[in-house]
Amino acid sequence: MSFFTKKTAIITGATSGIGQGIAWALNKQGANLILSGRNVGRGQRLEKQLGPSAHFVAGDIKQPRANEALVEAALERFGRLDMLVLSAGQLGIGKLDTLSLEDWQETIATNLNAVFYLLKYAIPEMQKRGEGSVVIIGSVAARHAFPSHPAYSASKGALPALVRQLARDYSPEIRVNLVSPAQVITPLLHNSVKAFDNPDEILEETAQKLPMKRLGLPEDIAHTVLHLLSDQASWITGSNFVVDGGFLAT
């Protein structure tokens, strides 16, 4: 039997990209899933595709109440909460002097505040069980500057420090780790390269510059996330795992 059988995970950003890849991977391993995402139609379709062990909860994770509702749904539908995968992300493209106040606030709210909200409501429930595992999806943008990504980089840059703090405060019962991808083929990546004058060429050039000679796939990230969620990573917490095809080595 899989380690994940009958355990319950909340996944934010589950309706596309990396979050969806993680949802499929956990589903195949027998986990129960509470899915969160911006697009209600995609969320409902994903719920149907994954079957009765998955449940989509509509809501705006930038709002505290929406995150509380995800925790409530896990407990009401499956009776337990074992894992969190915080994968929702927003770009907020634009140089600092041209970026709107709204785009800055929305990006920080999605990439950082929503992480705080879900953890605030979920950690007490994990403490009641005496165990839990959390993986937050960060970005190499915390360590490498990209054109016109100040809000994204700032919000992702806060996550390594937050993860270290959480590991200090909640170990050994709850493990918290960060996975920081580079260029993974997702809708977010295609929106990100719009900051360049030649987005299509940039993607091809980036793939060829990487030591692995290809862009990442959602399943590349999902493999690392599942390892960190499992007991195979029982001595890992407070860490930042860069999964980047060698990007930071170039």
Q: Which residues are catalytic?
A: 152
Neighbours of 94 (CB within 10 A): 17
CA-wise closest residue to 221 among 248, 186, 187: 186
Nearest alpha-carbon partner for 152 in 122, 118, 123, 194:
194
Instruction: Give the up-direction half-sphere exposure of residue 64: CA atoms within 13 A in the CB hemisphere.
Output: 4
Q: How many CB atoms lie within 10 A of CB 246?
A: 13
Strand pairing class (32-35; 240-243): unpaired
Whether 229 contacts 133, CB under 8 Å: yes
CA atoms within 13 A on the CB side of 9: 31
Q: Is the dihedral of CA 224, 12, 160, 216 positive or negative?
A: positive
